[in-house]
């Protein structure tokens, strides 16, 4: 091999290496873009599910009060229903790997949205099922991607999607059951036993959540306000419903008191979503 042939071989090898490097760079960039798109998609789904969960819980409580005899709640049921319809329609436009789960939630919503003439126990069970499935989907979407991005700043998120969301659900169940009791102005032994159980679970899980969040949640004022709201709700539950079998509190008044605590819990979820968007540039 002469020098010209050797030089040509070196040039070809260099060109090949450069081509491979460029190809690897392009592939890497494509993977980064795809990963970012999937992360942003999951964050968007979590955002939609947060609103969906809050409104489904609200619809459960209001419809329980309506079916228990408080006709003044009818307009609130209708407006909540309209919000849920919009959320469901928007959810159907989202891309992701959970299409079947979303379709199941959509079918369940169509089955529970019209509460006219429905049996009270059936209504509660149907709402509990769709809300449980919504919470499971939240947990699965969160676990699907590394949303924490190895960031110590986001280490508190696990507590948000587990303890905080579940505390909101226990509170939502107590709101629904209590609203029905307030509407009928009477409660059975079984209902009070169930309420006592919910009271205990809300207290235990919220204490655990607040203890964890004290270590990593930046907005201490919001955390303190949430703690006080939950504490006030538990006190109201004790004094207004658990201490008597003939409650005098109005259904709407009790519903609003419970909603104040639940909204504070979802406010912590909103902070988590804002942190996710900021860290991931969503």
For the chain of 282 residues, list the mean pLDDT of each consecutive stretch of 10. Answer: 56 60 57 64 91 97 95 95 95 84 94 92 96 94 71 81 95 96 94 96 97 89 96 96 92 95 97 86 64
Q: For residue 132, what pLDDT is reported?
A: 96
Q: What is the DSSP string of the chain?
A: --HHHHHHHHHHHHHHHHHHHHHHHHHHHHHHHHHHHHHHHHHHHHHHHHHHHHHHHHHHHHHHHHHTT-GGGHHHHHHHHHHHHHHHHHHTT--SS-HHHHHHHHHHHHHHS--TT--HHHHHHHHHHHHHHHHHHHHHHHHHTTTTTT-GGGTTHHHIIIIIHHHHHHHHHHHHHHHHHHHHT---HHHHHHHHHHHHHHHHHHHHHHHHHTTT-S-HHHHHHHHHHHHHHHHHIIIIIIS-SS--S-HHHHHHHHHHHHHHHHHHHHHHHHHHHHHHT-
Position 17 scores a pLDDT of 63
pTM given for the model: 0.86
């Amino acid at each position: 091999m002469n020098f010209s042939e050797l030089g040509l071989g070196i040039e070809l090898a260099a060109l090949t290496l450069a081509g491979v490097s460029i190809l690897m760079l392009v592939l890497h960039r494509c993977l980064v873009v795809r990963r970012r798109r999937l992360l942003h998609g999951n964050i968007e789904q979590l955002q939609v599910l947060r609103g969906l969960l809050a409104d489904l819980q609200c619809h459960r409580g209001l419809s329980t009060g309506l079916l228990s005899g408080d006709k003044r709640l009818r307009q609130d049921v209708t407006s909540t229903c309209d919000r849920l319809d919009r959320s469901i329609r928007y959810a159907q436009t989202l891309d992701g790997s959970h299409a079947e789960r979303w379709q199941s939630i959509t079918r369940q919503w169509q089955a529970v949205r019209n509460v006219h003439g429905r049996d009270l126990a059936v209504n509660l069970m149907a709402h509990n099922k769709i809300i449980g499935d919504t919470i499971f989907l939240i947990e699965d979407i969160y676990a699907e991607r590394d949303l924490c991005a190895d960031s110590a700043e986001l280490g508190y998120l696990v507590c948000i999607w587990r303890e905080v969301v579940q505390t909101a659900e226990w509170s939502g169940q107590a709101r629904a059951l209590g609203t029905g009791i307030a509407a009928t102005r009477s409660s059975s032994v079984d209902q009070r036993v169930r309420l006592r159980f919910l009271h205990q679970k809300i207290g235990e899980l919220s204490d655990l959540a607040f203890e964890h969040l004290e270590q990593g949640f930046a907005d201490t004022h919001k955390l303190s306000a949430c703690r006080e709201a939950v504490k006030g709700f538990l006190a109201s539950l004790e004094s207004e419903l658990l201490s008597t079998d003939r409650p005098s509190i109005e259904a709407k008044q009790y519903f609003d008191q419970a909603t104040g605590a639940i909204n504070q819990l979802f406010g912590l979820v909103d902070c988590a979503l804002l942190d996710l968007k900021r860290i991931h540039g969503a």
